[in-house]
Structures are given as structure tokens and as C-alpha cells.
Structure 1
Amino acid sequence: MTFSRATITPWLSAFGKRAQQQTVRPSGSLDLGAAATPTPAVPTHTASDDDDTDCEKVTCIALTFDDGPAVPETATLLSYLSQYHARATFFTVGQNVAAHPDLVRAEARAGHEVGNHSWSHPDLTKLSREQVAYQLNRTSDAIKAATGKAPTVFRPPYGAINNTVRGATKLSPVLWTLDTEDWKYPDAAKVAQSVIAKVKRNDVVLMHDIHTTSVAAVPQILRALTARGYHFVTVSHLRATL
């Protein structure tokens, strides 16, 4: 039995109507109605030269971001930093480096420092020397593959470090002096104030670029502290100029 188009059309689902349209006026592809998931653009900002900020003469701090790169948060963060010509240090997790090498390249290209934060974020003090070396070496290899340059610094997950960890690597450990505890507070304004109200010269600030609210706090931090004369440099730059 054959039904007319006028009879069938009212019975069709949204998908059925798209299929019907395809039979009447075929196109190159059939819209199945799935939500489009655009690939986030990777920032293309390129640092024009090396950072010549003299932290003996001006007020510096080092913003550091752990656990990334993350999509789309890290790309958004890179755009914010470029607007203020701010440099930062990213302590990257090896698994995420392998998944998003384009973002790690973008970090390095923009003049930021890429540090090592282990391969899978374990408490390194609970591992053997060989296991620690594996965690850090595999991550350093991934960073070098992405950027062409091996890292020189690492941040142990949870800040947990002991002699076994120190002895397993030639990387220089970096902790922090100001913890935003942004993972506890999914509130951009609160995270921003945790820095603005407490920061002092030469602080190393701990944040995470895997949290949307933490990234959203960055423009307010940059705006407020720039107005107070702060300069944003990498950890290694801060250390070298003290």
C-alpha cells in the first residue's frame, strides 16, 4: 500500500522529516540532528622575544596552573594571558600533554613555561624511585615531543615530595607560596579575591587550568594586579632574577 506525502508527513519525527527532505532534494550529507561539537580554536599568540622583566626593580609574581592542558579551558586562559602580555608556568600532566599537544605547543609559543606534573598525577612519595622516574621521564618526553624542548622544573602532585622523589630526577621542584584552593571553590569571584587580597611580591600562585571558574577568575586578577604595578613572569624567570 502506498500513502501520499500529505498523509505521511504529519506522522514523521524530526529525523523522519529530514530524511524525507533528503529524498526530495538530496544534499551532500544528511543532518542527523546531533549537536555539533566544534573543535576549540588553539590560540596563535607568539611571544615576540624573551622576557626581560627585571624583578629586582619591579614587582613580580608567578602565576602557575596545574593539571592541564584541558579543553577548552587552557585555550581560553592563553587568550586572557596574551591580552595582558602576562607569562605563566603550566605544570602539565603527561596524559593530557599526549592528548592535547597542540595546546602545549601554544603555551610554549606564547612564551609561557611548560613544567612537568607527572604522567598520571599520583602521590609520588608512595612510589618507588623507579616508578617516580617513569612518571616524570615519560611526561618530559611528551613535553619535548610537543614543544621541542624538555622541561627543567616539576611540581609534585599534592606538593608531596621526599628524598626518593628528589633522587629520581634532575628536574628542579617547584611548590608555591599562595594557594588559591580554587578546586574547593567553584566561584570565579572568590578565586580572584583569594589572589588579589593576599598576594605579595615574588609570590608563586597555585591555580588549575582544568576548572572553568578558575580560568574565569584570571582576567580580574590580571586587571587588578596590573593596575597595582605587578608583572607576571614564569617561575624560572622569577627565580633567576631574585
Structure 2
Amino acid sequence: MFSRLALAIGILGAAASVQVQAAGAAKYLPPLSDTVMADLAKLDPSQYETFHLQNASDALTKRGPPNGLRGIQERCTTSHCYDFTFDDGPYNNMRNIVDHATDNGIKVTFFVNVNNYDCIYNQQRVSDLRYAYGKGMQICSHTATHPHLNDLTHAQIDHQVQGVEDALWKILGVVPACIRPPYGEANDDVVNYLNDRWGYVVINWNYDSGDSTGSTTAQSKAVLRTIKSPKHAIVLMHETVDTTPNNLFPAAIKIAQDNGYTAANHQTVPQSLGFNGYKVTGTRGSRDSTWTCNGYTPGQG
């Protein structure tokens, strides 16, 4: 799915798609934020990897999400798949969740903001993200400040998308190919825009633990007990709810095991949907004056 870029990239607009030649076949660089494009233009192509969106014989304008995963994805597709997902971080419990997952031999997916419960550039948040990524967890976008996307213009959506792309490129050296709309809200126009302009797979869920809407741990466990193999499950949880990483998540792993799922069934969302979770992978950056949440008012979700 990856191709090494065969020529230097000029600085283009965020929605641009670039044709490159690799092994004689046309490949396409996914749409990226202006900041990431500018950084890539300074690098030798051997210093990063990128995947194209779709094969296209003669149309430069053919773009879209990886593997043609259009629309909103609400369930995983691999056999007996069961995906734990955590929204609204990075925050205080990310490392705890990663440790529980690692100890049980499973992978989880985090959908992160730039400035929601905390600024993503704060040193502890940087450390936690690098810890999670280093342990093989997937990091996806949850927008910069957790707004209602249906209420935004396309230009405002661009601002939300680019903020996360810039931050994860600087902190981890990656740009995600997956996004979860805040509150699970995205109308057809928003979904099509995220698919076509930004090349994102849009991911929601089909089982909500209810941890962020007032459910007790016991009530959340009752929901999870209904998920029995071979059901295909994407489960919504929140790392910002203290009872989730400390109580619910460890119990959820045991419940899933009792219901017929093995550690191998607990994959990242991109793994269980069959696409590469990152549009670009390279080398993480070093802190400078641009590592700031200025311009991103803290979210409330």
C-alpha cells in the first residue's frame, strides 16, 4: 500500500493531489495540510513514506479514502473483530490504557484532539502520544477542538483537520488517514468532504459504552456483555472518563474474552477495516515556537 515518493513535492494547497511515478505506475499523494506539504518539500523522498489513495489510469482528480471506504464506517470487517476505541484525548489516562492493552496483547485506537481537555503540545501529552504510538496503538483524528462539524463551513473544517495533521506530524512524524466526527455527527456533505478532499476514512461505532453520557460502570458492562463472537464491533469509550481506564476497560477485556474473542481479534480500526492508518510516515519533529495551541480555543466535548 505504500510507495516511496519518486520526486520532490512542491508546496501545494491542502486539497491538492500529486501524481508521482513509482515502478512505472501512477501513484497519488493524499491531500495533506500546507504545513506537512511544506515540510515534505524540504526532505529527500527517502526520508518518508506515503500511500496513494486509489489507482487511476488517467485522471489526476480521482481521489477518495483508502480502499474506497466511503461513507461512515460503523463496524469492523475482519473475522471476529472487536475494536476498542478511545476519544477526546490525549489526556491523563492514555498511558494507563496503553499499559492495559499491552499487558493483554491487544491494540486499541485513539481519536485525539489538539485542544480539548488539554493542549496536545503540552510535554506530558507529547510523551503520552509517543508512548502509545511506540507500543503500536493507532492514533487517529478527532478534529482540533471537538466542534459540531455539521455547523461548520468547509474552510472551518479545513482548520479542524489541519490542526491535527500538523500536530501529529510534529509530535509523531505521522499524518492519520482516519477521523471520527465529534459526537458522531456528520451529514452527507461533511462525510463526502472528509472522504474526497482530505482522503479520510470516517469512523463511528456500533456499540457505545455510554461512559461519557452518564452510564455507570455496571451499565456499560451490561452493554459490552451483549457483544458476543462473531459479532463485528467497534466500541466507543473515552479516555477522559476516569472510571473507563481504571475500571471499565480492564473488565471489558475480560468480558470480551468470556464472550469468545481472543487477543488477536482486538485490532486497531484500520487493521480491522483493511487500510493503512497513516497517509504519511516519517520522522517526528523537535519542539519549536510552532508547538502551540494558539488559534484553537479549548473544546467542550
> Structure 1-normalised TM-score?
0.71
How much does 1:57 deviate?
8.0
How much does 1:150 deviate?
0.8
Q: Which residue of 2 aligns with 1:7?
A: none
Q: Which residue of 1 aligns with 2:201?
A: 172
User: After superposition, where does 1:74-93 map in structure 2 within 5 Å?
Assistant: 74-93=94-113
Output the amino acid matched with 2:252.
I
Secondary structure of the 1:233 match is coil
Q: Which residue of 1 aligns with 2:255?
A: 224
How much does 1:133 deviate?
0.7
How much does 1:193 deviate?
2.6
Distance in 1, Cα, partners of 2:152 & 2:257: 41
Distance in 2, Cα, partners of 1:166 & 1:94: 23
Q: Which residue of 1 aligns with 2:244?
A: 214
Q: Which residue of 2 aligns with 1:119?
A: 144
Q: Which residue of 1 aligns with 2:121?
A: 98
1:130 aligns with 2:121: no
How much does 1:123 deviate?
0.4
Moved more, 181-190 or 219-228: 181-190
Secondary structure of the 1:98 match is coil
How much does 1:199 deviate?
5.1
1:236 aligns with 2:270: yes
Match of 1:156 among 181, 198, 201: 181
Moved more, 58-67 or 192-201: 192-201
Once the two structures are superposed, what CA deviation does each residue of 1:148-206 show, in whole Å capped at 9, x if it has no partner?
Answer: 11111000101111314531522211011111111123532332332123455221111
Q: Which residue of 2 aligns with 1:194?
A: 223
Asked if structure 2 preserves the Cα contact closer than 8 Å seen for 1:129 and 1:165, the reply is no
Distance in 2, Cα, partners of 1:56 & 1:173: 15
How much does 1:124 deviate?
1.0
Consecutive unaligned residues in structure 1, runs of 5 or more? 1-54
Match of 1:143 among 168, 193, 197: 168
RMSD: 2.1
Q: Which residue of 2 aligns with 1:59?
A: 80
Asked if structure 2 preserves the Cα contact closer than 8 Å seen for 1:93 and 1:139, the reply is yes
Q: Which residue of 2 aligns with 1:32?
A: none
Distance in 2, Cα, partners of 1:190 & 1:80: 21
Distance in 2, Cα, partners of 1:82 & 1:185: 28
How much does 1:60 deviate?
1.7
Higher strand share: 2
Distance in 1, Cα, partners of 2:80 & 2:154: 39
Q: Which residue of 2 aligns with 1:29?
A: none
Asked if structure 2 preserves the Cα contact closer than 8 Å seen for 1:128 and 1:164, the reply is no
Between Structure 1 and Structure 2, how many residues are aligned?
186
Distance in 2, Cα, partners of 1:182 & 1:139: 24
Output the amino acid matched with 1:114.
I
Distance in 1, Cα, partners of 2:211 & 2:140: 20
Asked if structure 2 preserves the Cα contact closer than 8 Å seen for 1:202 and 1:238, the reply is no
Distance in 2, Cα, partners of 1:57 & 1:113: 17
Once the two structures are aligned, what percentage of the paired residues are identical? 24
Asked if structure 1 preserves the Cα contact closer than 8 Å seen for 2:109 and 2:138, the reply is yes
Output the amino acid matched with 1:89.
T
